[in-house]
Amino acid sequence: MERNTALTVFDSLSSGVRLDVFRLLVKTGADGMVAGEIAQALEIPANNLSFHLKALTQVGMLGVTQEGRFLRYRANIPQMLDLIGYLTEECCANDPGQCATMRAASTCDPAVLPALATTHTQTSGAF
């Protein structure tokens, strides 16, 4: 992923409305949701939601398909993964052993995620 893409994506996720929308669509996966359904689920005025859907779509985090007079939005999971890859790039260049527990992150398995916070300890003790 290019630096500027990552910047626009992070910016797109720094709004409460857009973060809620994206996470909702991550959960629905390939099914996606129609704009009206999203507005109803998150209780956001249609025009305001439209503003944020456009922003998310322009940065590539959402895809759209028309269904009659409805617009169906879907999360762009591959781009989300690219973003994660960009952020974690060379994260353990100096000490590969430090990264052992990071391998399991960004998983869909809820059983794996809770363990991360406790198993991954920094050697510096700064936190």
Total of residues contacting a copy of itself (CB under 8 A) = 64
Taking CB under 8 A as the rule, which mask of x and - marks residues 55-94 in contact with a copy of itself? --------xxx--------x-xxx-xxx-xxxxxxxxxxx
Neighbours of 73 (CB within 10 A): 23
Cβ burial of 74 (10 Å; 0-12, 13-18, 19+) is middle
Q: Which of 25, 31, 65 is nearest to 49 (CA)?
A: 25
Spatial distance between the Cα atoms of 58 and 53, rounded to a whole number of angstroms: 8
Q: Output the smallest distance, CB 127 to a copy of itself, in A.
A: 5
Among 23, 34, 43, 48, binds a copy of itself (CB under 8 A): 23
Among 31, 43, 68, 114, binds DNA (CB under 7 A): 68
Spatial distance between the Cα atoms of 104 and 121, rounded to a whole number of angstroms: 15
The H-or-E segment that residue 23 falls in is helix 16-28
Residues near DNA (CB under 7 A): 11, 14-18, 34-36, 39, 45-55, 64, 66, 68-71
Residues near a copy of itself (CB under 8 A): 3, 6-7, 10-11, 13-16, 19-20, 22-23, 26-32, 63-65, 74, 76-78, 80-82, 84-96, 98-99, 102-110, 113, 116-117, 120-124, 126-127
